[in-house]
Amino acid sequence: MKRALNVGLIGHKFMGRAHSHALRVVTMFFDLDVVPVMKVICGIEDDLEEAARRYGWQAFTHSWEEVVNNPEIDIVDIATPGNTHWQIALAAAQQGKHILCEKPLALTPHEAKEMYDAAEEAHVKHVVNFNYRRLPAVALAKRIIDDGQLGTIYHFRGTYQQDWPLDPNFPFIWRMDKTIAGAGSMADKGSHVVDLARYLVGEFEKVACSSAIFVKERSLPDQIHSRRQVTTDDAAVFIARFQNGTLGVFETSRMSAGHKNALAFEVNGSKGSVVFDLERLNELKLYTTSYPKDTSGFRTIMVTEPCHQYVRSWWPPGHVLGWEHTFVHQYYEFLQAIARDSASSPSFYDGLRNQEVLAAIEAAAVEKCWVRVGQSRGDA
Amino acid sequence: MKRALNVGLIGHKFMGRAHSHALRVVTMFFDLDVVPVMKVICGIEDDLEEAARRYGWQAFTHSWEEVVNNPEIDIVDIATPGNTHWQIALAAAQQGKHILCEKPLALTPHEAKEMYDAAEEAHVKHVVNFNYRRLPAVALAKRIIDDGQLGTIYHFRGTYQQDWPLDPNFPFIWRMDKTIAGAGSMADKGSHVVDLARYLVGEFEKVACSSAIFVKERSLPDQIHSRRQVTTDDAAVFIARFQNGTLGVFETSRMSAGHKNALAFEVNGSKGSVVFDLERLNELKLYTTSYPKDTSGFRTIMVTEPCHQYVRSWWPPGHVLGWEHTFVHQYYEFLQAIARDSASSPSFYDGLRNQEVLAAIEAAAVEKCWVRVGQSRGDA
Amino acid sequence: MKRALNVGLIGHKFMGRAHSHALRVVTMFFDLDVVPVMKVICGIEDDLEEAARRYGWQAFTHSWEEVVNNPEIDIVDIATPGNTHWQIALAAAQQGKHILCEKPLALTPHEAKEMYDAAEEAHVKHVVNFNYRRLPAVALAKRIIDDGQLGTIYHFRGTYQQDWPLDPNFPFIWRMDKTIAGAGSMADKGSHVVDLARYLVGEFEKVACSSAIFVKERSLPDQIHSRRQVTTDDAAVFIARFQNGTLGVFETSRMSAGHKNALAFEVNGSKGSVVFDLERLNELKLYTTSYPKDTSGFRTIMVTEPCHQYVRSWWPPGHVLGWEHTFVHQYYEFLQAIARDSASSPSFYDGLRNQEVLAAIEAAAVEKCWVRVGQSRGDA
Amino acid sequence: MKRALNVGLIGHKFMGRAHSHALRVVTMFFDLDVVPVMKVICGIEDDLEEAARRYGWQAFTHSWEEVVNNPEIDIVDIATPGNTHWQIALAAAQQGKHILCEKPLALTPHEAKEMYDAAEEAHVKHVVNFNYRRLPAVALAKRIIDDGQLGTIYHFRGTYQQDWPLDPNFPFIWRMDKTIAGAGSMADKGSHVVDLARYLVGEFEKVACSSAIFVKERSLPDQIHSRRQVTTDDAAVFIARFQNGTLGVFETSRMSAGHKNALAFEVNGSKGSVVFDLERLNELKLYTTSYPKDTSGFRTIMVTEPCHQYVRSWWPPGHVLGWEHTFVHQYYEFLQAIARDSASSPSFYDGLRNQEVLAAIEAAAVEKCWVRVGQSRGDA
């Protein structure tokens, strides 16, 4: 009989729901060497009990310490806002729990470093949930690049565009408050793009950045006459050098009219290119120089076939997946890493390096000059 | 406390899995007035027990009669091959069970008529699972048309292209045997396209058709030297007149190189057009004549916003759904229809009318002339 | 020194302008073995002199007989409405002129046959201007098919959608009068689609068709209260069998909202597919089964490279061409055929066979049953 | 009778041909108040006579001074490499000729300033040929932005990707030599993107840049063993602040596998967005917040209708234009500006400001920090 792994999930809102769903269906579609058990969910709002029932958790609690200190719990899943990750993760590591933590890992490289060190010292598995690595199309891009099908990489262009607060009457929310959110689109959206760049191309060397707050004041919800100053960036543009010489160019924005969740990237190398867009996440565009010139062109690959990663576990060929499947794939990888005591990925190390890039971007936006990645780390 | 509805699912393969998944997650995301209980799953193959455990069914059985006759069961879900639907559905209706049945409803209009009559007489809810009606994009197309935004409908073009047996070495399977499958792509794929045409435009009046078997013989699996004759169509093209004067043009094929699951349609009316493609199921293209000419063009609507049907229950704006979500939506509608004793849809009536169109298409392919829909019904 | 060929162009409106432009630039971009001379243009309207001057013709005349009987003239270019082609072409052939004639070649297969016979007997070069054969993308599709890259052809789907008279207030024009235009979209648009089908796939065997007049009455221009009955089809759908077993499916419409000049086709074969759309005429989509499965997909070929037909004569790689270039290419081919006394193509034979298919479609629309292509020819 | 304007064209290669073609057809399609006469073409290579004959020039000469000093000449058209523009333009201005000059206007802001001053002092019309302003789709984008349909502009993203020297065996050519070409993709491709940014958004304030030479050495043509060092950039990425606060992000590359001539931009504002790609130059994508949410989406406008700029002069609706049409439109505007003594555009002033931005980008790439546009001007 397979070993059971008891999960304690902290957070029951958007991310808590996505993680719950992943646990609920991963056993149905994937062959696991262990059995995850939805033991306890933790939250601080009134609808927690309803959520626990709906999502299928055996118990619920308002105390995250209770979860972390519960000797029955094997896995602590941190799906709370970023300013709480550090505290919870350190405690969980201390209790020897395996940890899956939402991104960005922390608010600063310093915090991230402590989390990484704590998890390593505790010899637990640790994963930061950069879930888009687990898209079949992104996994295919990764394999194509690692196989050398694109040759030497020259360019990475990454953009993440949304438009949810485009309307100036959209109210002030916590994401617009620097003291809580740290940064705006450059961190919230940027962390995903930066992770994909690191995953596909390699480490950043330095960055230059400019950011903007387009709507400088907004009303509080239901208080039209009470204005608050927006202190996080609405958008940022940055360019980068990677350690291997690749040129990087980036744009993150929550004010790009018409784009709902448009995370897109293009990678160009000496032998080919790949192009991806999250709004069409079942597709990958690929160009290679290896085919006859007169019939060459970008191929639109439907990444929905049994030969593509994770796809065989779902449906027959051509049946497209959705956004939430990434969480299922991530949990599958995480659980198998625990079961087989193999490397988990993306790990807190990835979370730390990501944080260092974000810190450099933020510093560059302020200092208005090129900033070397890792430099700002000691300052924290 | 909400009423529990016990479900018995017959079939545990591809469709059985999709239905199980729907039941497993519908309660997590949708506000239901009842609580479905995954009581028993029925199948005839060895892996049934494993499936029951994985999918989360309380029990399993190899006898469908046992399910149908079980007084605890409220809903019989028929997810078996088409040649078994008639028998099971009649028995289920007789026992007063609500019925959700996979498409196509039956093998002939005669069978379908009996199923429809039986369900009506039993006063049970009956649904045939034309799941693509439950895509947010298709629901939006329906509303746009019903609102009159396209004006009078002139054209419907529907195509369903796949390529799974394109390789002549792909083995002979049951779908290629007329005695089991009835027809080939024109029924298997055609039933979906015909349903969408009926849903969006209205009833068919008459059809002309041509079909082909491109690879006439195939080897049995693992028996390369044993050849079997293919007796179902690889592809069919047909044209139609609808009762309201709309012109229809259709193509179904399992031999269209490069297409994995490409169900597509276009509807043109006196004031606009909509275009849909299942390979990009989160999008709907819309053109209307109501906007200034110089900035008119087909709009690519991301049907992923809270204002779109079913979307609010899932994730924030811009988070795309996958193929399987249609089953969840269908179960939601079905369960609510039972709870509220309201009309269920698409009903066995839709299944019956669909079967009549398929019969006319099949007759037209044989007789090589125009065939009026409904005429062949009395002959059965 | 190169031989001069004197051209007499009959028609100075839309097509006359396109032909004039072709003559004006063909010598600039293409290496010709002869020198075309823009000798005389013929028309019946007042703006003829202005057109002659603008387009660069040496002379103009209101009498087509004068052109045809002028011993200096080597080439008669017929760019007038279809009901005049027969008379002019017969006279031109009799005078031993080479003939380039606009499509459709004539109004009936009978007329077309006489034109073809007359041109053949006169041993002159004769071309019917199915200009889309001369698109680099279509030429590439042709070569791909002839090379066997698609294997055995299974499917041809062709659509031609426009929306210019969509508004019911669009006035009655000659194209809506059966006595002048013969047929509506099925001939005007259909002739192009049918030609591409014949070019790429082969000869038609039989057709079934349905057509419609959606707006049955329209006002005369500037006479809102004077209504005329529309007697040509707004749209037609037809299916076909080709002699080689290919299935064909077609739609032509001038009432497809949002489509301006959307001539599109898809060809599927045992080894691959090609897809084309005139609104993106510099592109061809290609899928072949010859590449690794995990990176297979439709390639979007930019048909703008020196390796593509006609492209080297224009601009450097990646510089897209427009609609009118097809006429330049056609004239290039025609002039070279005369210079080298080689076969000209598409010839009046193609015009004749095209007419036979159109006649069968028209008959099928009336008789409401399958019509064999060529059968109706003797009746004329 | 209309006034004749005698044109002297200097340069007979790629650009010379495009300009000749424009002169050859502009009178055919556009209503001009003057008549351009193709008087003399100037070049230094052996095939000049052949070019003169083909393109339709009355005379040819190897001396540009002869053209500039010819009292019969009204317009000097400079279509030579960039390092010759300054000398010719100054002389032409001194002789009181109207000047159309290829882009980039000069090699430095200093040169450009002198050219602008000279032309202004001579009271002649002066145009720098940023031809993409003359695309109907770009003209539409401009009008949409000027009309306020996008609201306040937040973002401009511009990319220009090609791949012609991607193969490391592609030989060394003059464009790779800094002493001749000045810079690589950042100037050659960058000047177009920068012009479109200035045209649509406004003046640049400052830039940060990184550039790369990916293939550092190449063989001379036909001399495989003789290697030369590449001294111009293969690619550059830069970010910018515009004076009005808009964020800019840019990428230029001649090493982007699969892209042939992909000049693309996106502009996002507080009320909408536009997207353009030169490889589909007849289309413009537009999103505005002014339509109902549930049917909002990017519209793909076919910019091929009579209501779109320049289109009415060509063909009926839906007939797509090609790359070369931009030159015709530019000549039309230039000739009309002379005829009516109205402002010509884009003028040498635009050429100058463009040069200043390019100089800042180049300085930023070297100095590795933000550079204010205009600062480097005084240094020259």
User: In this structure, what token pair is assigned to residue D38?
Assistant: 């193709």
**Closest CA relative to residue C301, chosen from C278, C318, C324:** C318
Average pLDDT over every residue of B158-178:
95
Considering only CB atoms, D298 lies closest to which of B144, B300, B307, namely B300
Contact C272, C286 (CB under 8 A): yes
**Closest CA relative to residue A135, chosen from A320, A357, A374, A271:** A320
Query: Which residue is listed with tokens 């028993």?
Result: B40
In angstroms, rounded to a whole number, what is the distance separating the alpha carbons of residues A328 and A318?
Answer: 19
Q: What percent of chain C has pLDDT over 70?
A: 98
pLDDT at residue C307, rounded to an integer: 97
pLDDT at residue D377, rounded to an integer: 43
pLDDT digits (tens, 9 = 90+) for A117-126: 999 999 999 9
Q: Chain A closest CA to B318's CA: distance in Å?
A: 5
Helices C14-29 and D14-29: crossing angle in degrees, nearest 10, is: 160
Calculate the dihedral angle through the C-alpha atoms of B285, B290, B293, B294, rounding to the nearest 10 degrees. Answer: -60
Q: Chain C closest CA to A325's CA: distance in Å?
A: 20
Average pLDDT over every residue of C242-267:
97
Q: CB D280 to CB C281 under 8 A?
A: no
pLDDT digits (tens, 9 = 90+) for B268-322: 999 999 999 999 999 999 999 998 999 999 999 999 999 999 999 999 999 999 9
Residue A368 has pLDDT above 90, yes or no: no
Q: How far is CA D357 from the centre of its chain?
A: 14
Q: CB C320 to CB D25 under 8 A?
A: no
Average pLDDT over every residue of C371-379:
68
pLDDT at residue B179, rounded to an integer: 85
**Model confidence at A377, in pLDDT bands (50, 70, 90)?**
very low
pLDDT digits (tens, 9 = 90+) for B4-22: 999 999 999 999 999 999 9
C263-287 burial, b at 16+ Cβ within 10 Å, e below that, comes to: bbbbbbbbbbbbbbbbbbbbbbbbb
pLDDT at residue D173, rounded to an integer: 93
CB pairs under 8 A between A and D: 143
Average pLDDT over every residue of C322-334:
98
What element of type H or E holds A75? strand A75-78
Task: Show which residues on chain D lie within 8 Å of chain C, measured between beta carbons.
Answer: 14, 17-18, 20-21, 24-25, 27-28, 54-56, 162, 164, 259-262, 278-282, 302, 304-305, 314-325
Which of the pair, D42 or C375, is modelled with greater confidence? D42
Residue C380 has pLDDT above 60, yes or no: no
User: How far apart, in Å, do the first and last CA atoms of chain A sit?
Assistant: 48
Interface test mutation site (partner B, options A32, A302, A323, A328, max chain B beta carbons within 10 A): A323
Contacts of A56 in chain B (CB under 8 A): 28
Total residue count of chain A as it appears in this document: 380
Average pLDDT over every residue of A195-216:
97
Q: Which CATH number fits domain C3-132: 2.30.110.10, 3.40.50.720, 3.40.50.150, 2.60.40.10?
A: 3.40.50.720
Nearest Cα residue in chain B from D149: B295
The average confidence (pLDDT) of chain D is 95
In three-state form (DSSP H/G/I as H, E/B as E, the rest C), the secondary structure along chain B is: CCEEEEEEEECCCHHHHHHHHHHHHHHHHCCCCEEEEEEEEECCCCCHHHHHHHHCCCEEECCHHHHHHCCCCCEEEECCCHHHHHHHHHHHHHCCCEEEECCCCCCCHHHHHHHHHHHHHCCCCEEECCHHHHCHHHHHHHHHHHCCCCCCEEEEEEEEECCCCCCCCCCCCHHHCHHHHCCCHHHHCHHHHHHHHHHHCCCEEEEEEEEECCCCEEEECCEEEEEEECCCCCEEEEEEEECCCCEEEEEEECCCCCCCCEEEEEEEECCEEEEEEHHHCCEEEEEECCCCHHHCCEEEEECCCCCCCCHHHCCCCCCCCCCCHHHHHHHHHHHHHHHHCCCCCCCHHHHHHHHHHHHHHHHHHHHCECEECCHHHCCC
pLDDT digits (tens, 9 = 90+) for A15-54: 999 999 999 999 999 999 999 999 999 999 889 999 999 9
Q: CB C308 to CB A296 under 8 A?
A: no
- Give the contacts of A363 (CB within 8 A, at least 6 positions apart): A371, A375, A376
Do β-strands D235-242 and D247-253 pair in parallel, antiparallel, or remain unpaired? Answer: antiparallel
Nearest Cα residue in chain D from C301: D258
- For chain B, which chains pass the contact test of at least 3 CB pairs under 8 Å? A, C, D
Q: What percent of chain C has pLDDT over 90?
A: 90
Contacts of A286 in chain C (CB under 8 A): 295, 297
pLDDT at residue B344, rounded to an integer: 93
pLDDT at residue A380, rounded to an integer: 30
Q: Chain A closest CA to B351's CA: distance in Å?
A: 23
User: In this structure, what token pair is assigned to residue C191?
Assistant: 């002739």
In angstroms, rounded to a whole number, what is the distance separating the alpha carbons of residues D318 and C160?
Answer: 12
Complex confidence, ipTM: 0.95
pLDDT at residue C379, rounded to an integer: 37
Task: Show which residues on chain C lie within 8 Å of chain D, measured between beta carbons.
Answer: 14, 17-18, 20-21, 24-25, 27-28, 54-56, 162, 164, 259-262, 278-282, 302, 304-305, 314-325
Contact C116, C141 (CB under 8 A): no
**Closest CA relative to residue D92, chosen from D335, D337, D348:** D348
Contacts of D280 in chain C (CB under 8 A): 280
Residue B379 has pLDDT above 50, yes or no: no
The average confidence (pLDDT) of chain A is 95
Helices D48-55 and D14-29: crossing angle in degrees, nearest 10, is: 10
Q: pTM for the whole thing?
A: 0.96
Q: CB B234 to CB C154 under 8 A?
A: yes
Contacts of D296 in chain B (CB under 8 A): 299, 301
What's the half-sphere exposure (Cβ side, CA atoms, 13 Å) at A71?
A: 0
**Model confidence at D376, in pLDDT bands (50, 70, 90)?**
low
Residue D272 has pLDDT above 50, yes or no: yes
Q: Chain C closest CA to A158's CA: distance in Å?
A: 22
Average pLDDT over every residue of B112-131:
98
pLDDT at residue A379, rounded to an integer: 37
In angstroms, rounded to a whole number, what is the distance separating the alpha carbons of residues A141 and A278?
Answer: 13
Q: CB C18 to CB D315 under 8 A?
A: yes
Q: What percent of chain A has pLDDT over 70?
A: 98
User: In this structure, what token pair is assigned to residue B112?
Assistant: 């379908």
pLDDT digits (tens, 9 = 90+) for D28-59: 999 999 999 999 999 998 899 999 999 999 99
Calculate the dihedral angle through the C-alpha atoms of B184, B186, B191, B197, rounding to the nearest 10 degrees. Answer: 170
The CATH architecture annotation of domain B3-130 reads 3-Layer(aba) Sandwich (3.40)
In angstroms, rounded to a whole number, what is the distance separating the alpha carbons of residues A45 and C292?
Answer: 52
Average pLDDT over every residue of D348-369:
94
pLDDT at residue B376, rounded to an integer: 53
What residues does C159 pair with on adjacent strands? C251, C264
Considering only CB atoms, C140 lies closest to which of A149, A294, A307, namely A294
Residue C378 has pLDDT above 60, yes or no: no
Residue C16 has pLDDT above 90, yes or no: yes
User: How far apart, in Å, do the first and last CA atoms of chain D sit?
Assistant: 48
The answer, yes or no, to whether the previous bond of B104 is cis (omega within 30 of 0) is: yes
The average confidence (pLDDT) of chain B is 95
Query: Which residue is listed with tokens 């000729």?
Result: D97
Query: Which residue is listed with tokens 């669909």?
Result: B354
pLDDT at residue C376, rounded to an integer: 52
Residue C377 has pLDDT above 50, yes or no: no
Q: CB B315 to CB A304 under 8 A?
A: no
**Closest CA relative to residue B262, chosen from C253, A132, A136, C275:** C275
Q: Alpha carbon of C168 to those of C213, C234, C235: distances in Å?
A: 12, 12, 15
What's the half-sphere exposure (Cβ side, CA atoms, 13 Å) at D115?
A: 37
Q: CB D323 to CB C319 under 8 A?
A: yes
Residue C29 has pLDDT above 80, yes or no: yes
DSSP C33: S
Residue A224 has pLDDT above 80, yes or no: no
Q: Which CATH number fits domain D136-280+282-321+355-365: 3.90.78.10, 3.40.50.1100, 3.30.360.10, 3.40.640.10?
A: 3.30.360.10
pLDDT at residue A376, rounded to an integer: 52
Q: Chain C closest CA to B29's CA: distance in Å?
A: 34
Query: Which residue is listed with tokens 């390789």?
Result: B167
Q: Alpha carbon of C361 to those of A249, B138, C186: distances in Å?
A: 56, 33, 8
pLDDT digits (tens, 9 = 90+) for C151-178: 999 999 999 999 999 999 999 998 999 8
Instruction: Give the dihedral sign, CA C346/C347/C349/C352.
Output: positive
The answer, yes or no, to whether the previous bond of A104 is cis (omega within 30 of 0) is: yes
pLDDT at residue C179, rounded to an integer: 85
Nearest Cα residue in chain C from A139: C294
- Helices (H) and strands (E) counted in chain D, each on its own, are 11, 17
DSSP A176: G
User: In this structure, what token pair is assigned to residue B182?
Assistant: 């009835």
Which of the pair, D116 or B181, is modelled with greater confidence? D116
Total residue count of chain D as it appears in this document: 380
Domain locations in chain C? 3-132, 136-280+282-321+355-365
Question: Phi then psi for C273, rounded to 5 degrees?
Answer: -145, 150
- Give the contacts of C167 (CB within 8 A, at least 6 positions apart): B289
pLDDT digits (tens, 9 = 90+) for D97-136: 999 999 999 989 999 999 999 999 999 999 999 999 999 9
- For chain A, which chains pass the contact test of at least 3 CB pairs under 8 Å? B, C, D
In angstroms, rounded to a whole number, what is the distance separating the alpha carbons of residues D26 and D75?
Answer: 15
pLDDT at residue B1, rounded to an integer: 78
pLDDT digits (tens, 9 = 90+) for D289-344: 998 999 999 999 999 999 999 999 999 999 999 999 999 999 999 999 999 999 99
pLDDT at residue B226, rounded to an integer: 87
pLDDT digits (tens, 9 = 90+) for D205-230: 999 999 999 999 999 988 777 899 99
pLDDT at residue A18, rounded to an integer: 97
The average confidence (pLDDT) of chain C is 95
Read off the amino acid at residue B362. Answer: E
User: Looking at the domain D3-129, which fold is it?
Assistant: Rossmann fold (3.40.50)
**Closest CA relative to residue C260, chosen from D286, B163, D103, D303:** D303
Residue D378 has pLDDT above 50, yes or no: no
Q: CB B324 to CB A316 under 8 A?
A: no
Helices C109-121 and C348-367: crossing angle in degrees, nearest 10, is: 170
Instruction: Give the dihedral sign, CA C164/C166/C172/C178.
Output: positive
User: Looking at the domain A3-131, which fold is it?
Assistant: Rossmann fold (3.40.50)
Q: In 10 A of CB A368, how many CB atoms?
A: 16
